[in-house]
């Protein structure tokens, strides 16, 4: 693989995972492509299992993620996670009109259906109830309106880093800066980073994060039981495409498919040992839709991504390996996805206006 292509892959991987979710890397046509360990000690990422604290946590403030969304124009997206009174809220704000609709996941478990609270608050929509939040872990149950339904629990193992004194732009846009400084081919760099973003970054004056600035990144994501995930936009459609009808029939009659019953739905899935989830079709409210079935346990691990990138880099010559060492080291130990309120205030007061 060409080294320049790897640069694009690294940028794409980091910007996609920052958007709040894990998932398999399948090319299924209806893949919804979703995308918080302590201090800065450079040790291998080995998440430790911890018992679940079933007492809801109260307040932990707002953490914000920033993503460049435009290449032909300078535009950004801000995603916030707020923990308040035992609830966790999610909100997405754009500096310009977004080309992409935010994901609105719906989960089926053996006992019920989970979907974000549609009542808007100043923090956005409620996506769940926090069971535990620390510098190494976030555990929560997704939101549901059904009484006595809390069988599905998600756990994110996270790395929290003190970024006080670090350069702001070089942290928030680390991968873009590395590409800009590693290559002299301006035309190629501007295509990968984006001409507008490249020019914008070159014009900015660098500042540093003040004391108390922290960020976290997701190391692993896991569930305590199997579940089915789809997007509400798919299920809200009133018609079923011929492709879905044909695929339903093929899966239902395939000797290698398996059946899954969740709450009030039935689905047929094809086992795929190459991924951590299986794709299939469910029948729900009279329509049939492609969905993703997760078997329970870890369904996202940043080590898988790191190992894949390292194996690619091994095929490069020594000069190219040096260029990408900074990217991989940053991804392993110092990557930031969400920033606390102190860091966010610095980012927004100096650079990004929402």
pLDDT tens digits, residue range 132-156? Answer: 999 999 999 999 988 777 899 999 9
pLDDT confidence of residue 249: 82
Contacts of residue 181, defined as CB under 8 A and 6 or more positions apart, other chains included, come to: none
Question: If we measure between CA atoms, which residue out of 115, 126, 209 comes closest to residue 171?
Answer: 209
Q: Is 70 exceeded by the pLDDT of residue 200?
A: yes
Among positive and negative, which fits the CA dihedral 131, 136, 142, 148? Answer: negative
Per the DSSP assignment, residues forming a β-bridge with 269 are 258, 280
pLDDT confidence of residue 119: 83
pLDDT tier at 34, thresholds 50, 70, 90: very low
Q: Are 211 and 164 in contact (CB under 8 A)?
A: yes
- Average pLDDT, stretch 89-106? 78
User: Residue 174 corresponds to which tokens in the numbers above?
Assistant: 């680390």
Half-sphere exposure of 82 (CA within 13 A, CB side): 18
Q: Are 232 and 104 in contact (CB under 8 A)?
A: yes
Q: Which of 152-166, 249-263, 278-292, 301-315 is predicted most confidently?
A: 152-166
Per the DSSP assignment, residues forming a β-bridge with 290 are 281
Angle at 9 between CA 92 and CA 162, to 5 degrees: 60
Q: What is the pLDDT of residues 221-278, one digit of tens each?
A: 999 999 999 988 776 665 556 556 667 788 888 888 999 999 888 899 998 888 889 9
Please give the residue that has the higher pLDDT: either 183 or 264: 264
pLDDT confidence of residue 55: 44
* 23 Rama sector, left if φ>0, alpha if ψ -120 to 50, beta otherwise: left
- Average pLDDT, stretch 82-104? 82
Q: Is 60 exceeded by the pLDDT of residue 58?
A: no
Q: How many residues does the chain have?
A: 354
pLDDT tier at 166, thresholds 50, 70, 90: very high
Average pLDDT, the chain: 78
pLDDT confidence of residue 41: 31
User: Residue 286 corresponds to which tokens in the numbers above?
Assistant: 């009279």
Q: Tell me how far apart the alpha carbons of residues 132 and 55 are, in angstroms, rounded to a whole number.
A: 8
Whether this prediction's pTM lies above 0.85 is answered by: no
pLDDT confidence of residue 241: 60
Lowest mean pLDDT across 24-33, 50-59, 146-155, 190-199? 24-33
pLDDT confidence of residue 108: 94
Provide the strand spans (E) within the chain: 61-68, 76-84, 87-94, 105-108, 113-115, 125-133, 137-142, 154-162, 214-223, 227-231, 257-262, 265-270, 277-284, 287-294, 297-301, 338-339
Q: Tell me how far apart the alpha carbons of residues 9 and 72 are, in angstroms, rounded to a whole number.
A: 20
User: Residue 294 corresponds to which tokens in the numbers above?
Assistant: 């997760």
Strands 338-339 and 265-270: unpaired
pLDDT confidence of residue 160: 96
User: Residue 36 corresponds to which tokens in the numbers above?
Assistant: 């918080």
pLDDT tier at 98, thresholds 50, 70, 90: low
């Amino acid at each position: 693989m060409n080294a320049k292509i790897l640069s694009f892959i690294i940028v794409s991987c980091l910007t996609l995972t920052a958007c709040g979710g894990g998932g398999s890397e399948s090319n299924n046509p209806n893949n919804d492509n979703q995308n918080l360990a302590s201090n800065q000690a450079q040790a291998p990422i080995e998440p430790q299992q911890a018992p679940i604290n079933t007492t809801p946590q109260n307040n932990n403030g707002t953490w914000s993620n920033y993503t460049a969304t435009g290449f032909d124009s300078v535009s950004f997206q801000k995603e916030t996670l707020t923990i308040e009174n035992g609830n966790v809220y999610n909100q997405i704000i754009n500096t310009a009109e977004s080309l992409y609709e935010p994901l609105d996941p719906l989960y089926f478990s053996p006992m019920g259906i989970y979907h974000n609270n549609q009542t808007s608050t100043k923090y956005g929509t409620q996506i769940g109830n926090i069971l535990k939040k620390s510098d190494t872990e976030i555990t929560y149950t997704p939101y549901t309106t059904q009484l006595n339904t809390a069988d599905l629990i998600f756990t994110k193992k996270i790395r929290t880093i003190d970024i006080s004194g670090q350069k702001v732009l070089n942290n928030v846009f680390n991968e873009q800066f590395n590409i800009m400084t590693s290559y002299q081919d301006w035309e190629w760099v501007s295509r990968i980073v984006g001409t507008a973003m490249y020019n914008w970054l070159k014009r900015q004056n660098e500042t540093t994060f003040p004391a108390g600035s922290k960020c976290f990144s997701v190391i692993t994501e896991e569930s305590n039981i199997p579940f089915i995930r789809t997007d509400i936009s798919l299920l809200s459609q009133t018609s079923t495409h011929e492709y879905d009808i044909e695929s339903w029939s093929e899966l239902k009659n395939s000797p290698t498919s398996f059946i899954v019953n969740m709450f009030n739905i039935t689905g047929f899935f094809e086992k795929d040992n190459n991924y951590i989830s299986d794709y299939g079709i469910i029948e729900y409210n009279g329509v049939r839709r492609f969905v993703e079935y997760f078997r329970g346990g870890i369904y996202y691990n940043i080590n898988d991504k790191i190992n894949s990138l390292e194996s690619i880099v091994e095929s490069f010559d020594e000069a190219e390996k040096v260029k990408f060492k900074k990217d991989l080291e940053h991804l392993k130990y110092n990557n930031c996805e969400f920033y606390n309120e102190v860091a966010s205030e610095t980012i927004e007061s100096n650079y990004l206006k929402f």
